[in-house]
Amino acid sequence: MSALTAVVSANGLIVAFLAVGLLLWLSYFMSAQITGGRIHGSAIAILLGLLAAYWAGRATGGSRGLADISLLAGIGLMGGGMLRDFAIVSTAFGVHPSELRKAGLAGSLSIVVGVLVSFVLGAAVAVAFGYRDAESITTIGAGAVTYIVGPVTGTAIGASSEVLALSVTTGVVKSILVMVFTPLLARRIGLNNPQAAMVFGGLMGTTSGVAGGLAATDPRLVPYGAMTATFYTGAGCLLAPSVLYLLVRALT
Amino acid sequence: MIIYGVALLSACLLAGQFAGELLGQWLGVQANVGGVGIAMLLLMLACQSERCNALIAGPAGRGIHFWSAMYIPIVVAMAATQNVAAAVDGGLLAILAAVLAVIAGFALVPLLSRIGKPGEALPPASDHDAS
């Protein structure tokens, strides 16, 4: 037993490849046998991954899902920012820049609209829950933008740590909702072409949510959605602690 | 050589992230601004350029294709490392704020997609793993 543990802990990333491979096999099997192919295997795999992360979070009390289980620590590396970004960039291989230019205006506009709408809704909920100081309202609004914009903004304007945690949680909930609901709603919102994918990436903005949601919908849309989503967090970090904070302060 | 493609991909990611960091500093933002997007643009430009042909043609291209085929497994691993427990425990405020933001996002997609020339649907995919 100790020999097996030694092998597993010395080969974390390899164990992760095996574990994710098995999970995908199970998901594609379920997709074909249970749903008759109606729900795509990758959508089921992402859902099972989220369920496993929930279970692991409950079991370990950690914040990194399955990666907090020592035998599966390699999943943290495989699903971490480095390999995720590497894989996202690789999807741009063979994409023609003219496709991007076609949706250039709509794509750029969607980033600004996405940041503003998310912020306003998040801030309104904060007010509805009784927050009255501009720092807390701005930080929670920024959390509804993404879970990176929230803490960056909160730290910059000096929000309390309780509000910071709340804004991170808001962003995490958003990213998970986008992962789960994108494949279900894709058809209804016309998300089946590069231009719509760019708009979608700009409106949602959460890189992990958009990456997961488009993977489960149609992987060929990934480069377009990822392209705008990657500028969204930057736009949020630019607007929230400056213009939007001043605006909230003027209103409170 | 497969490694040439992988090396080109790495060079694009690093250059893009570096540009994103610089852009963030220049804007006075504590974040990387569009690093991954810039990296994607660099890779697209490299694919168009004659000079980079040796880095993407034949086996070298397979080095890049491998990583784009690994995209879904990597995203599944990413999903499995999210803090889902905290999201579920997030309380009404966090959940309500997120739900509203996501509903608004979905509702606005068809609206904003109408700007400019409407996109044409991709042909049905024969096999997702192929892409």
pLDDT over 50 at A18, yes or no = yes
pLDDT tens sequence across A188-232: 998 988 899 999 999 999 888 998 999 889 988 999 998 888 888
Within 8 A of B19 by CB-CB distance, chain A residues are none
ipTM value greater than 0.95: no
| Three-class secondary structure of residue B121 per DSSP | coil
Residues 56 through 75 of chain B touching chain A, CB cutoff 8 Å: 56, 61, 64-65, 67-68, 70-75
Q: How far apart are CA A171 and CA B9, in angstroms?
A: 30
pLDDT of residue B117: 67
Q: How confident is the model at residue B6 (pLDDT cuts 50, 70, 90)?
A: very high
Query: B81 and A179: CB-CB below 8 Å?
Result: no
pLDDT tens sequence across A107-146: 889 999 999 999 999 999 999 999 999 999 999 999 999 9
Confirm or reject contact between B31 and chain A (CB < 8 A): yes
Quote the tokens at residue B24.
């963030």
Entry pTM: 0.84
> Is A42:A50 a contact under the CB 8 Å cutoff?
no
Angle at B24 between CA A143 and CA A126, to 5 degrees: 15
